[in-house]
Structure 1
């Protein structure tokens, strides 16, 4: 029996969404709400997290914990078909949308995991990533998710990173990419790729800082009792 995890997408969830930051209130949420208010005319940013079988749980839920606490970010899960998708750790997350029903995404995040390998041959997934990328403000990845971005042809001539232990998987998808070995995350234009697993949470905070400023991201991290590694070039897990 698997456990299913679903993002906050139901009407009653808005009152629960970000409960910890709202209880802590103060600085973190106030700053985020303030800067989000300035963007109210454009509405919430839809953050689409792509799910596929055997995705890595922390790749998904580290960033989701951060983004879901930002007032003007609405996090949704998207998969080939709507419904439960089993992770590499055995728990399932519930995709709100299939590829054929997904709304346009403002921010797209592709996680990694052992499931990356078969998905490199999934043209349906790759085409969905390409089509959504035409409209995104930011396209992001965690861990070996950057291999999928490279396979989709989105990183040509750019700088990017990936899980260092499996960097060869990403490198083999596109030799025109400058694969950075010593980086917690890498930003190149609208593309933000992170190193392995826990690095995705640091990357997610960098995305928040991009829209709301570093101070707001720091305060949110402190409210959630997370020590943000702010330096994208400082990767303690880099090899070689």
Structure 2
């Protein structure tokens, strides 16, 4: 059983987390659990509450999913939180970020000298968090070693389908996309929402 550890925090972006959760939950050999620093109910930026268990209970081996959202702007200055997140990321087999979740991972230093992307509407802010990352402005998602980073909100779903295609095969990813009636942007290098000048 492959474990998917979803990290939630106050004012996370709901679809950043629940889109990938929906996709992973379609696969019989994946188990999804939501975690937060202290456990309990966590409220999204949309006011929806999800139940979580504390960081201390995580078996870090597996997939770590870090969503974005308004809460990331507060957490990038929380050294204790970032220290915990860094350790969880080091121990994870794969780390996946959605939207401004990349800012949190970047602040840990684990994206230094690696290619990564993030929400185009928050690109300047995320880039300012860590200038040592090779930020990719036009990409739906980017893979660097065992780290996947994706653009804004729904791009997380494209990334997870891409992750499934990489780990399993393209047909399985397409099958899941059909089941949830989702138009998958299959090419990670093409982002129809990227801001071009």
Tell me the TM-score normalised to structure 2 length.
0.96
Q: Tell me the distance in 2 between the aligned counterparts of 1:104 and 1:58.
A: 23
Residue 52 in structure 1 maps to residue 25 in structure 2: no
2:167 to 205, 208, 211: 211
Displacement after TM superposition at 1:149 (Å): 0.4
Distance 1:99-1:124 versus aligned 2 partners, 3 A rule:
farther
Displacement after TM superposition at 1:195 (Å): 0.1
SS in 2 for 1:146: helix
Task: State the structure with more CA Rg.
Answer: 1
Displacement after TM superposition at 1:134 (Å): 2.0
Partner of 1:33: none
Q: After TM superposition, where is structure 1 displaced by more than 6 Å over at least 4 residues in a row?
A: none
**Pairwise CA RMSD:** 1.0
Partner of 1:132: 88
Partner of 1:79: 36
Q: Which runs of 5+ in 2 are unaligned?
A: none
Displacement after TM superposition at 1:124 (Å): 2.8
Partner of 2:102: 146
Tell me the number of residue pairs that the alignment of Structure 1 and Structure 2 aligns: 196
SS in 2 for 1:219: helix
Q: Tell me the distance in 1 between the aligned counterparts of 2:25 and 2:18.
A: 10
Q: Which runs of 5+ in 1 are unaligned?
A: 1-43
**8 A contact 1:140–1:191 mirrored in 2:** yes
SS in 2 for 1:124: helix
Q: 1:28-67 maps to which residues of 2 (within 5 A)?
A: 44-67=1-24
Q: Tell me the distance in 1 between the aligned counterparts of 2:58 and 2:32.
A: 12
Stretch of structure 1 that moved more, 56-65 or 208-217: 208-217
SS in 1 for 2:31: strand
Displacement after TM superposition at 1:105 (Å): 3.6
The one-character-per-residue Cα deviations of 1:87-139 (angstroms, maximum 9, x if unpaired) are 000011111x2122222241101100111100111223211221112221111
1:236 to 181, 192, 195: 192
